[in-house]
Every structure is written in structure tokens, then in C-alpha cells.
Chains A and B, each alone.
Chain A
């Protein structure tokens, strides 16, 4: 049979494809219906948090930080309750990471504050002496892309039925109407920050990347849902 296949490239290719596709069909498909069910009380990311998630992706925090707490005592002692599948139901993409050059962040919203994150992003070694993380000062001046984050919310609501409110609708007018809510949320974060330029920018209706990122980091943990006691 193998000799025959080697002389008939078409059937050879079909044979190879069937053999390699087999594992995917058995392993991946059955999980799809099951795993995307959200834990009770989980809410999707707000538009500001989505903008922050996009900053997290843009600056590739994922290169050094994981968001997956494994079910070991050392990890639950260090970071908090181990991660559950249903907590990630609205995460597109998943941001588990594959390397911990820095600590895990899945519960960071439970034990770090806006102020801590502000200092940390400005100069990591000021709050963690010996840190090898670079400073992310450009996040204090770069303006977050809220409109793209809003477009993302509209997309996941319309295409994947993510439970957002009726005020999230496609189109420029809907976005203009929604924008004040995002700014109000940003003002709450900025109120707890010290940096004068950031405060001024938010007051003027522009949201620096660091504000969105902090909103996102603060949402990580159990603050997006009521954890079962």
C-alpha cells in the first residue's frame, strides 16, 4: 500500500491529511459545547477594561505574566483560589501565557490597588526592589483606543451573544452616546492616581493607556463575579 501511495501523490496527500486531522477531531471538538459556560455571576469586561486588555496585549505583558493559577497549595497560597474554566468564558483571546518571568496575575485585582499599579508601571523597582521588569512610562502619555474597544464589545455582543446591555449598539451615533459612561469609569480610576498629566488628560476627555490597563488589572480576580464562598 505504501509503495502505491508514494506513486500517487494525490492519495498520499489525502492519507496524510486524514491521519493528522484525526487527533484534532477526537480531542478538540467534544470540548467546545462544554467549556465556554460562564461561572455564576460572571460579567463581561467593560469597554474601558477591554481597552485595557488591548493595552495588555499591545505591550505583550503576556510575555512574562501568566493568568492561570494551578491547583497546587503553593500556588493558591501565593496567588489565591485556583482558576476555573468558567471564569474565562468571555476572554477572547485567552491570556494564560506560558512563562512566568513575573508573577501570575489572575487574581491581581484582589490584592493590588490603582496606586500600586501606577507606581509599578512608572518604575517597577520602586515597589518591587530587584525587579527586572522595564518601566512602561509611555503608557502615561499614549492615549487608549476606546473606540476600538467599543467596536470589540459590539462584535462579541452581536456575534457571540456576550451579555452586554442594549446601549451597546453598532454605529458612530451609538458610540458617541455611550462614550460618557466610559469616561466616567476612567475618572474613577484617575481619581486614585497621582500623575498630574494623566489626571488632566482624563479631565479633558482623553484616556491614557495606563488608566485603561489599571481598570483591566483591577477587574482580574473575583471582582468580575461573586465567588462561591
Chain B
């Protein structure tokens, strides 16, 4: 069985930052592997360790700068990686779900995996829609917000739990091939070992353009335009206790006694 994991390098933002136009100023940004994708990688690697998967392929859409991040997936155990990038994507400030669907679907159709794992959402743009959209595009079954996957995948069925709201889980059987969007907490993502990091440098990282994967530039024209970005107005009317830790802890202590919840 072949598993494909979609991964994304996301931008992280410092507590204090400035906005320039519709972007956060570069000096306040960092880059990291999308948290949800980290769990998706771990799930795929565990399936490989359990003898279910023969091959784990990581796929990303991103410029050369993100190779360090995608190599994290390789260091954690993915066998090889595909990175799609194109000059046509360079100036797009918000790659929408449809564009991502076109690109990822083309890669998946070429790779023909049995199972695609994708993070529920990306920590930066938070659309949470690409996995299901891709499944529909390529005619795979799907399940969104999966927080448990039975690893036997018996008879070509993935038995999953979907995490609903309010502490309820839905048990669902999904026929393969399928796309599952993976929720945090499904497993405990590993740290890449030093050996894994060394090995990752030698693993195949195949760079493809839109042309290479057979996607026409016009089909990924993004329909969403980011027109404004601003810091949400603080609605805080909290009483902020000032002073040393000793003093502020004292204020809180007094409050707890006043409320009668602690002595």
C-alpha cells in the first residue's frame, strides 16, 4: 500500500508584529511544518512501521525555501518527497482551495496512492477544505477530522473516528482509496532523530512545475482576493493587575477568597 501525505510549510507569527498591506511584515514571520500535517506524517510512518504501507510519499506546494520543512517529513520517515512550484505561483498571496485542489490532484493521480493523509487545516490560512475537495476531484472517498484510524485497513476499508463537537466521536467505515484529514491528537508525532535528519538529506526530493504535472496555469487562477488584513480590535475590558509576580498573585488570591472558591 502506498500512502501520500500532503504537507505544508506554514508561516508562524510572533506575539508582536506589524502588518504591511495585506501581509504580516517579514521580520515577524517564521516558518514551520504545519502542526496538523505533522500528525498526518506520523500516522503514515506508523502505518509503514506496522507493515501496512510499503511507501510513504510527502507532497508539498511551495518554493525552494520550504525544502527544509519538507525534509522534516523525510527525516521522520517518509521515503521520498515531491515539491510543486512554479513562477506562476510566485505572486499569489492567497492560494485558494480550488488551486490547491488542481495541483494536489494532479500529483495524486500520477502517484496513485491507496490512502492520502492531510492535516485538517493549515495553521496560517486555516481553510480546512483542501483534503475533501481533492477527494471529490479525484473520485476518492474521504473523511474529515479523523482522530483515530484502525491500522489493519481490512478489506480495503479504513475504520476511523471523526471528532465531532462536544466530546462526541463518530465511528465511520470508509472505502479505500480515500483521503483522510487528520486531527491533532491522533498520535504523538516523533522528533526527527539525528540519523533520520542525515538520511533525509539523501532521500529523493522531486521538484515539479505546473507543466511537469500537467496543470494549466489558467486552471489555478485563484478566485479569492485578499483585500484587507488587520489586527482584530481588542474587546478586552479585563482588569489587568500590575506589579511583581508576588503582587499579582496576591491580587488573584484575594479574588479567589472574595469569590469564596478558595481559602
Question: Is chain B found bound to chain A in the same assembly?
Answer: no
Binding site for B on A (CB under 8 A): none
Query: Which residues in B have some Cβ–Cβ distance to A below 8 Å?
Result: none
